[in-house]
Amino acid sequence: MSPAYVLKRIALIGYTLFVVSLIVFAITQILPADAAVMLLGENATADALAAVRVQLGLDAPVWLQYGRWLIGVLQGDFGVSMRTGQPVGPVLVEALGRSLLLALFAILLMLCLAVPLGIVAAIRRGKATDLGVSVTSYIGVSVPEFVSATLLILVLADWLQWLPATGYVPLTEDFARGLKHLVLPVLTVSIILIAHVSRMVRSELVDVLHTDYIRAARLKGLSARAVLFKHALRNALLPTITIVALDVGYLLGGVIVVEEIFALPGIGRQLIVAIQSRDLPSIQAGALIMASTYAIANFLADMTYAWLDKRIQYG
């Protein structure tokens, strides 16, 4: 992995985010909402509206508005929320932190379960274990998160009363209670991830186990363990890394739904509130932050891939 490759990838992220910023800004321009009307209400006079527009810089040409906004963003200033009058940045970053915690736990749980499940299914290919994992995965992939969330709440919170159904407590405030509140959202988000990734690991591993070099490793007299963990797994997990990074995209979408269901004040929930109240600076900032998260996740995946597979030298 050459420094040039890393730099090139970083430059590519910058370019991607620039395009995203253009799109996000364009979309908020198209939205059928007048920020001045939103601020002053339906009954404001034309003069008052005009004054607010000048104050917000909305009378300037679109490209100038974009330029001002972009320069602000680059300085970490995402503008002021039209709903609360507070700076958008700090609020969203705090919300992002809660969402990332949720995503982190979900990914950890996924890695702990999906990879072993995939391996077991691949080794016992065609046997009952494989069939069990496959069928469960199919079900897991096909159930939408609002259904699985509802079922989980019904069973674990309502019937068994083991866990709180909704709400959020910061881990710093009360660690045990905070964790309890996270269990259901994490489970909900990770079900589809686990199902998807275990299927991926299984099929990749099955392919790798049929390659010439695995046969060669076996015929060198290596133990089954060495063949699997040293020779096969690394090659099988490589494509999985890319898939996990792509799943981050799903995760971001899923987080919006799950946070809404479990009343978890993360970035998804902030975004929904912002959209409902036509809070343009919050929408722009939220969308941009989500896009950045996705881009960075994919960047990390590419770096890991290049580190594990020395052949990678993207031109």
Partner 1 sequence: MDTTAPILEVSGYSLDYATPAGFTRALDGVSLGIAKGEVLGLVGESGSGKTSLAWAVMRYLPAGAKESGRISLAGKELTAASPAEIDAIRGRRIGMVFQDPGTSLNPTLTLGEQLAEVLVRHRGLSRKDAWAEGEAMLARVGIQLPAAMMRRYPHEASGGEKQRVVIATAFACQPECILFDEPTTALDVITARQILDLFAELQDETNVASLYISHDLAVVSSVCNRVAVIHRGRIVEQGPIAEVFAAPRDPYTRMLLAAVPRPDRRVIETVPEPRADALLEVDKVSVIYGRKPFLAALLGRVNTQFTGNREITLAMQPGEILGIVGESGSGKSTLARALTGLHPFEGQIRFGGRPIHGIADMDRAYRRDVQIIFQNPDSSLNPRQRVREILSRPLELYGEPGRGADKAAIAGLLEQVRLPADFADRFPHQLSGGEKQRVAIARAFASNPRLVICDEITSSLDVSVQAAVVALLVDLQQRHGTGYLFITHDLNLVRQIAHRIAVMYRGDLVELIDVGDLAAGARHAYTRSLLAAVPAPLAA
Please give the C-alpha separations between residue 96 and each of 53, 154, 268, 271, in angstroms, as whole numbers: 30, 28, 8, 11
Q: Is 226 in the site for partner 1 (CB under 8 A)?
A: yes
| Spatial separation of the C-alpha atoms in residues 88 and 94, rounded to whole Å | 10
Which tokens hold the place of 2? Answer: 């050459």
Buried b (16+ CB within 10 A) or exposed e, 81-98: bbbeeebbbebbeebbeb
Angle (CA) 90 96 102, round 5°? 150
With respect to partner 1, which residue has the nearer C-beta, 2 or 276? 2
With respect to partner 1, which residue has the nearer C-beta, 173 or 311? 311
Residues 270-309 that bind partner 1 (CB under 8 A): 308-309
Q: Determine which residue in the list 8, 71, 104, 127 makes contact with partner 1, applying CB under 8 A.
A: 8
**Which 3 state secondary structure label does DSSP give 207?**
helix
* Start-end of H helices in the chain: 3-30, 35-40, 46-56, 62-74, 88-123, 128-142, 145-152, 175-209, 212-219, 224-226, 233-262, 267-276, 280-308
Q: Determine which residue in the list 37, 238, 241, 257 makes contact with partner 1, applying CB under 8 A.
A: 238
Least Cβ distance, residue 85 to partner 1 (angstroms): 46
User: By CB under 8 A, how many residues form the interface with partner 1?
Assistant: 26
**Which 3 state secondary structure label does DSSP give 83?**
coil
Q: Determine which residue in the list 215, 229, 253, 263 makes contact with partner 1, applying CB under 8 A.
A: 215
Q: Determine which residue in the list 54, 71, 220, 263 makes contact with partner 1, applying CB under 8 A.
A: 220
Which tokens hold the place of 154? Answer: 């019904």
Least Cβ distance, residue 7 to partner 1 (angstroms): 8
Q: Determine which residue in the list 111, 165, 217, 275 makes contact with partner 1, applying CB under 8 A.
A: 217
Q: Is 128 in the site for partner 1 (CB under 8 A)?
A: no
Q: Determine which residue in the list 109, 178, 218, 246 makes contact with partner 1, applying CB under 8 A.
A: 218
With respect to partner 1, which residue has the nearer C-beta, 86 or 223? 223
Q: Is 166 in the site for partner 1 (CB under 8 A)?
A: no
- What residues make contact with partner 1 under the rule CB under 8 A? 4, 8, 211-223, 226, 230-231, 234-235, 238, 308-311, 315
